[in-house]
């Protein structure tokens, strides 16, 4: 790779990173699996060990791989510990960070709304899977959320007993690995739905978290809107 593309438009380590991510995306490397060493990757791709190391550094910063001193580098899992670090930012005011429990309220298959089609880059009227659930921390319901998924990627999910950890289900059952997400935060007032599910009065201040999650190939894969209580939890973002 190094000799064939010395003047590539993208940095060589990023080209190498894309090749390695592709191996996760196509299932060549599975979650939890040890991957080849930097020297082996360098020899395989025809690049220097330093370039291989930089590619892996980038993948580690993206939480795609995990390095264990003396053991090697492993494909990251979507376990609870990773999700609470990377994707779940709500923390009880009075306690430590914890992974929330969930209860499914509804799961349906239908046509995408105009907004869902825009967010997920689907054709107008494409079939989507929509999940409504509530989530609790320390035994108190603090989140009411709606999740919209392209049905073409998650065909049959409506027949499953959905687990608490959806991202691990996406990966293990449907071969879709969530790599990153973007979030939009907005203050909103509780409506009748939140009054019922969150046990707050209509008009109470809540936090809306509008998240779009992307798979390893960069495609929008999940649209999730979570409405959260603000009286007993807060949004914690660890900026580095």
Q: In this structure, are residues 230 and 207 in contact, taking their beta carbons and an 8 Å threshold?
A: yes
What pLDDT score does 24 carry?
82
Confidence at residue 8, expressed as pLDDT on a 0 to 100 scale: 53
Residue 80 has a pLDDT of 46
CA 167, 172, 173 angle in degrees (round to 5)?
A: 100
Q: What is the pLDDT of residue 2?
A: 46
Asked if 58 and 14 count as a contact pair (C-beta separation under 8 A), the reply is yes
144 torsion bin: left (phi>0), alpha (psi -120 to 50), beta (else)? beta
Backbone angles phi, psi at 171, to 5 degrees: -70, -50
List for the chain the helix, strand, coil content (%; round to 5): 30, 35, 40
Question: What token pair was written down for 194?
Answer: 């939140």
Q: Which two tokens stand for residue 235?
A: 């949004």
Q: At which residue do the structure tokens 């495609």 appear?
A: 219
Q: Give the separation between CA 106 and CA 92, rounded to whole angstroms.
A: 26
Q: Which residues pair with 181 in a beta bridge?
A: 213
pLDDT score for 159: 95
pLDDT at 179: 85
Task: For the chain, list residues with pLDDT below 50.
Answer: 1-3, 5-7, 80, 84
**Count of Cβ atoms closer than 10 Å to residue 18 Cβ:** 13
With contact defined as beta carbons under 8 Å apart, do 210 and 183 qualify?
A: yes
Which domains does the chain show, CATH number per domain? Answer: 12-75 (1.10.10.10), 80-235 (3.40.1410.10)
Looking at residue 221, what is its pLDDT? Answer: 97
Helix (H) or strand (E) holding 110: strand 101-111
Q: What pLDDT score was predicted for residue 82?
A: 56
- Which one-letter DSSP state was computed for residue 218? S
């Amino acid at each position: 790779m190094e000799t064939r593309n010395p003047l590539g438009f993208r940095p060589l380590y990023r080209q190498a990173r894309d090749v390695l991510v592709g191996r996760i995306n196509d299932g060549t490397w599975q979650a939890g699996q040890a991957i080849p060493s930097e020297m082996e990757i360098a020899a395989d791709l025809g690049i220097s060990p330093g370039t291989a190391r930089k590619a892996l550094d980038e993948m580690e910063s993206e939480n795609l791989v995990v390095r264990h001193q003396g053991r090697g580098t492993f494909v990251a899992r979507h376990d609870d510990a990773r999700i609470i670090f990377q994707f779940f930012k709500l923390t009880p005011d009075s306690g430590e960070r914890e992974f929330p429990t969930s209860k499914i309220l509804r799961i349906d298959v239908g046509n995408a709304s105009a907004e869902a089609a825009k967010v997920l880059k689907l054709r107008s009227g494409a079939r989507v899977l929509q999940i409504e659930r509530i989530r609790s921390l320390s035994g108190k319901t603090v989140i009411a959320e709606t999740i919209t998924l392209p049905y073409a990627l998650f065909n049959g999910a409506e027949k499953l007993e959905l687990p608490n950890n959806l991202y691990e289900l996406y990966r293990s059952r449907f071969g879709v690995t969530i790599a990153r997400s973007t979030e939009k935060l907005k203050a909103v007032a509780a409506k009748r739905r939140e009054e019922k599910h969150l046990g707050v009065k209509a008009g109470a201040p809540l936090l809306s978290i509008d998240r779009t999650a992307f798979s390893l190939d960069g495609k929008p894969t999940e649209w999730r809107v979570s409405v959260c209580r603000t009286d007993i939890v807060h949004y914690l973002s660890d900026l580095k």
